[in-house]
């Protein structure tokens, strides 16, 4: 069974102290069995919803997206957001879209995905709000080493 997820959209003009108090309260009461994520844009919120709907580990996908986009010519066309999974040519691929350029990039989804999931699940804190970014995922992975 999938773990329910709470996604909190934080815009730059939000009152951060009020928001933090509400997040702490939510984490203490309702969220005992929730994944808690913070996003900073509508596009990132849609990306998180698509990731959880696909049953994927969002933090691992953010790591893979960062690695794939940064190591190809696609970096200059960003920002990039997860848009789905493709099974074309008997190979599973993770799809990323760039709303600004209308381009789609496809990264291979190989056995390394499951290894990263196992590793990051071992260091992801429960009942704590995590920002849904590749930087957050990298911090967690550094703690796993």
Please list the pLDDT of the chain residue by residue as tens digits (145 residues). Answer: 567 788 888 876 666 677 777 777 777 776 567 777 888 889 999 999 999 999 898 989 998 888 888 888 777 887 899 999 998 777 888 999 988 888 888 888 877 788 888 888 777 776 677 788 888 888 877 876 5
Contacting residues for 14 by C-beta, under 8 A, at least 6 apart: none
Supply the pLDDT for residue 1: 54
Supply the pLDDT for residue 10: 80
**If you search the block for the tokens 């429960």, which residue do you land on?**
126
Supply the pLDDT for residue 31: 55
Handedness of CA 37, 84, 64, 114 (dihedral sign): positive
Look up residue 12 and give its DSSP letter.
T
Q: What is the tally of structural domains in the chain?
A: 1
Q: Rounded to two decimals, what is the model's pTM? A: 0.81
Range of the structural domain that residue 114 is part of: 5-144
Handedness of CA 10, 142, 35, 109 (dihedral sign): positive
**C-alpha closest to that of 133 among 55, 80, 74:** 80
Supply the pLDDT for residue 32: 61
């Amino acid at each position: 069974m999938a773990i329910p997820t709470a996604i909190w959209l934080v815009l730059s003009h939000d009152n951060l102290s009020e928001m933090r108090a509400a997040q702490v309260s939510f984490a203490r009461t309702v969220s005992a069995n929730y994944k808690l994520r913070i996003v900073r844009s509508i596009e990132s919120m849609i990306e998180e919803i698509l990731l959880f709907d696909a049953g994927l580990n969002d933090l691992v996908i953010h790591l893979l997206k960062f690695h794939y986009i940064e190591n190809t010519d696609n970096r200059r066309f960003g920002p990039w957001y997860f848009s789905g999974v493709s099974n074309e040519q008997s190979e599973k691929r993770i799809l990323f879209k760039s709303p600004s350029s209308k381009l789609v990039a496809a990264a291979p989804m190989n056995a390394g995905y499951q290894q990263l999931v196992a590793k990051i699940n071992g260091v992801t804190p429960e009942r704590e709000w995590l920002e849904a970014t590749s930087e957050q995922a990298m911090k967690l992975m550094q703690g796993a080493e």
